Amino acid sequence: MGRRRVCLGSASALGATVLVPLTLAGCGFQPVYMPTASNKPGVAQRDLSNVFVEIIPERPGQLLRQALQERFGDDSGTPASYNLRVSFGIAGEGIAVDPANIATRVRFIGTASWTLLGHDDKRSALTAGSARAVDGLNVFDSQYFASDLETETEQKRIAENIATQIATQLAVWFRRRAAQRVEAGS
């Protein structure tokens, strides 16, 4: 705790955005997607590009799968080393109600649970996690078509948010696993 306080204190004292990452690196912080010394993709990027995202049913699932594939970014055609299985859903609840008992604001809550599977014979679960995102939308009774389009936009925004959370969680896991392998080897 003391060392962290000193590092963060010195970073705030410097006030320079360029020097902050260097100062925090002394505390053990490193960018998740840090490239190698030869400026090639780092551990997280390489491993994420080897993840195949399984089909996620329904339209919100399609949006999430597409967002995950964009974040993992592998167009090389190489076979995947991992499968990502995701369970995803979006629930809506009325949070603002007018005198006629009609919801005028809807809160959407997207939840996902995921499991990373290896490509071994047993398809062993390597790690798992969850993600959650909340968003909302105003409902106008005379604007049904606009409300329908806005709902699709909300679903996409929630899917993008959850995809970012899942990709970050996986990147951190891949980095930790690589660090553990290095420690075990030394």
Tens-digit pLDDT profile for residues 143-169: 667 777 888 899 999 999 999 999 999
Pair (16, 54) in one structural domain: no
CA-nearest of 143, 135, 146, 140 to 92 is 135
**How far apart, in Å, are the Cα atoms of 148 and each of 137, 138, 143, 145, 177?**
11, 11, 9, 5, 43
Pair (62, 150) in one structural domain: yes
Pair (24, 40) in one structural domain: no
Pair (122, 100) in one structural domain: yes
**What is the chain's length?**
186
Number of domains in the chain: 2
Pair (44, 63) in one structural domain: yes
Q: What is the CATH number of the domain that holds 163?
A: 3.30.160.150
Pair (19, 48) in one structural domain: no
Query: What ranges in the chain are assigned the alpha helix state H?
Result: 2-14, 19-25, 43-48, 58-72, 144-185
Pair (181, 106) in one structural domain: yes
CA 10 to the chain's CA centroid: 30
Pair (23, 44) in one structural domain: no
Pair (92, 131) in one structural domain: yes
Q: What is the pLDDT of residues 93-149, one digit of tens each?
A: 888 778 877 777 889 999 999 999 998 888 899 999 999 999 988 777 666 677 778
pTM score, two decimals?
A: 0.76
The domain containing residue 157 runs over which residues? 33-185
Pair (47, 63) in one structural domain: yes
Nearest 5°: the CA angle 112, 116, 117 is 135
Q: What is the pLDDT of residues 22-78, one digit of tens each?
A: 455 556 656 666 665 566 667 778 888 899 999 999 999 999 999 999 999 866 667
